[in-house]
Amino acid sequence: MDNSGECCSTQLIDGDGVFNVDGLESFINEVKLRECGLSYAIVSIMGPQSSGKSTLLNHLFRTNFREMDAFKGRSQTTKGIWLAKGADIEPCTLVMDLEGTDGRERGEDDTAFEKQSALFALAVSDIVLINMWCHDIGREQAANKPLLKTVFQVMMRLFSPRKTTLLFVIRDKTRTPLENLEPVLREDVQKIWDNVPKPQAHKETPISEFFNVEVTALSSYEEKEEQFKEQVAILRQRFFHSIAPGGLAGDRRGVVPASAFAFSAQQMWKVIKENKDLDLPAHKVMVATVRCEEIAHEKYSSFTENEVERIEEAVHLGPIPGFGKKVISILDAYLSGYDSEAVYFDESVRSSKRKQLEEKLLQLVKPAFQSVLEHIGCETLDKFKEAFDKALNGGKGFSVAAHDCAQFYVALFDKGCADAVIEQAKWDTSRAQEKLRRDIDAHVASVRAAKLSELTKAYEEKLNVALSGQVETHLEKADNETWSDIRELLSRETRWAVIGFSGALSGFDLDEQRKENMLSAIKDHARGVVEAKAREKAGRVLVLALMKARFTTLFRPHAGFLWTVSDNIERINNDARSASLKVLSVMAAVRFDDERDNIEKTLSDALLDSISTATDGSITTVDPLASNTWEGELSRRGDLRNRMTAWLIGIDVADEVVDVVEDAVEDALT
């Protein structure tokens, strides 16, 4: 009995399998267990020898189990089963430290005790910590697997389900996130459960009826001590109130009252000891599993320390010629070292562990391999861009240049990949090739878009030059042929532009719909040039200037600066005004269709021809623009403006022209 400090401990079962009845009785009295009723928890730990079980328990529960001295080599420290009380944890928590599995001290063929002690732990504990190496996850010959297979099978035959919590503690966690490790581990446990022979009563019983499976991970105690201690401190909190609802053992069943724990544990051990089925599997396989794993782990660690960084630094600078063969040579050296050290162990275990080592080593170099592929891809893409640009500048058709260059450089990439491939890995390079193809397609699409944009702008500019000046000239002429001349001009220039543009597009391998859309856009642009120029000339300042210029040109004396008696001023005035309205009627609407309209007549009727009734009842024709008639017409000006505006809007005349006419009418009426 050791009761130094706050921790109290005793050897529950010695190395020969003898149950320490007196020692347990004294321990129970010392920790006052009988007073706890059902408010106590039993926690045990199992796992390979020298895997740090005692160290973990001492940090987790502040116990004083004997720990291995790393400087004296790996050997058995815990013999039998030791029991201690966790310090400063509620409820009262009893902790069992089990002798490590696969211990060499017991000899190759004596595996009964380790299986018996493991089964005992599962049978009496509320929570069983299963200490395991991180690199055991997903391995068929992991150190704990044969043991778990046996105890699962016997547990179902000897005991009823009590919902023991299995807390797998992953030791020496690597950089792989826990969320990636946990599903693999859970799958391993489920496979063990699914494959073990079951009695008829439990043929369909799920593992959840017997066990709750929890997973956590810890860093290496030897290499990252401070981080290990921080993680253990967090894990320790989970054991507070562990039997409360939602706790680690919150749904346990068949709890033995604290006063009967000693008798119950003694009887449990007796049943287990007398059961002969616990002699299998053979310890030879167990030892081979552990030792081959140790050799493999040593080679893995050495490779990690001596090769990985050197390989990664080399590939960081760019592609390495013969990368695949160089890596294969390095891998073979480490695998040969494993073979020479593991040659005398069980062949099936040795082969299995060798395959696992090879897979792990390949995973270490896979990032470097992927970097090499990325370098080859980037280098190939740059060469493609250069060659593609050169081909286009040399006059080669766009589609032909794109196809030929892509085909050549994808083949070049495949050749580079073949040089980098590691045969044993059988890694697929198709995704890297697909990425290169996507990058090439994206570049081709980008260049195509730029070229098409450039081509479109060139033809639009040609149309601007061909149409803008001539349209302006025709509009300033403003006669009966103006819009027919503009339509002919538009049709001719658009036709030539479409022919040229269509020919230029043929080299880009466009689908018919896109080509049709682009040709349609060119046609729309041509119409837009005409419409923009017409609207520009129809603007308030320009249209008034043209109207005034036309009126001024026609309304002037024939003899120079003076009118003569023979001049018919009224006729000249009417002709000048009609010609001025001709300008307005030409500018009033954009006439893309050869359809006659009555814009000019309506303007003339509204602004030149006005019918009024004289005081004697006779009907006379008066000029509504004559200033001496405005006084009698003032009451009608609002109606005139409204009618003119409504008419102009009704024939879809440009807003600028509406404004001009409205202002002209307003000026005339005032």
Whole-angstrom CA distances from 77 to 49, 51, 98, 101 are: 8, 11, 10, 12
Percentage of the chain modeled with pLDDT above 70: 75
Looking at residue 347, its amino acid is: E
H helix and E strand count, the chain: 21, 9
Dihedrals φ, ψ of 103, to 5°? -75, 135
Whole-angstrom CA distances from 517 to 450, 514, 523 are: 17, 5, 10
**What is the DSSP code (8-state) at residue 567?**
-
pLDDT score, position 632? 34
pLDDT of 103-157, one tens digit each?
Answer: 444 444 445 787 788 888 888 899 999 888 887 776 665 656 777 787 787 777 7
Residue 355 has pLDDT above 90, yes or no: yes
This prediction has a pTM of 0.44
210: left (phi over 0), alpha (psi -120 to 50) or beta: alpha
pLDDT of 48-102, one tens digit each?
Answer: 777 788 899 999 999 998 875 443 444 445 678 999 999 999 999 999 998 876 5
Residue 556 has pLDDT above 80, yes or no: no
Whole-angstrom CA distances from 500 to 137, 514, 519 are: 69, 17, 10
d(CA 592, CA 590): 6
DSSP labels for 584-596? Answer: HHHHSS---S---
Find out whether 583 and 546 touch, Cβ atoms under 8 Å: yes
Pairing of strands 610-613, 619-622: antiparallel
d(CA 363, CA 604): 92
In this predicted structure, which of 122-126, 132-136, 290-294, 665-669 has the lowest mean pLDDT?
A: 665-669
DSSP labels for 575-628? Answer: HHHHHHHHHHHHHSS---S-----HHHHHHHHHT-EEEE-TTS-EEEE-TT-GG
**What is the DSSP code (8-state) at residue 267?**
H
pLDDT score, position 1? 54
d(CA 346, CA 329): 27
d(CA 419, CA 427): 13
Q: 298 CB contacts (<8 Å, ≥6 apart)?
A: none
Find out whether 129 and 239 touch, Cβ atoms under 8 Å: no
List of long-range contacts for 406-410, beta carbons under 8 Å, 24+ apart: 406/437, 406/440, 406/444, 409/380, 409/381, 409/383, 409/384, 409/440, 410/380, 410/436, 410/437, 410/440
Which token pair is 156? 């179902």
d(CA 145, CA 421): 35
Handedness of CA 69, 72, 73, 76 (dihedral sign): negative
Over residues 639-666, mean pLDDT? 45
d(CA 258, CA 255): 9
pLDDT score, position 126? 94
Handedness of CA 601, 603, 609, 615 (dihedral sign): positive
pLDDT score, position 624? 38
Over residues 167-186, mean pLDDT? 86
The answer to whether the peptide bond before residue 257 is cis (omega within 30 degrees of 0) is: no
Over residues 269-282, mean pLDDT? 62
The answer to whether the peptide bond before residue 91 is cis (omega within 30 degrees of 0) is: yes
In this predicted structure, which of 59-68, 294-303, 454-463, 599-608 has the lowest mean pLDDT?
A: 599-608
Find out whether 607 and 668 touch, Cβ atoms under 8 Å: yes
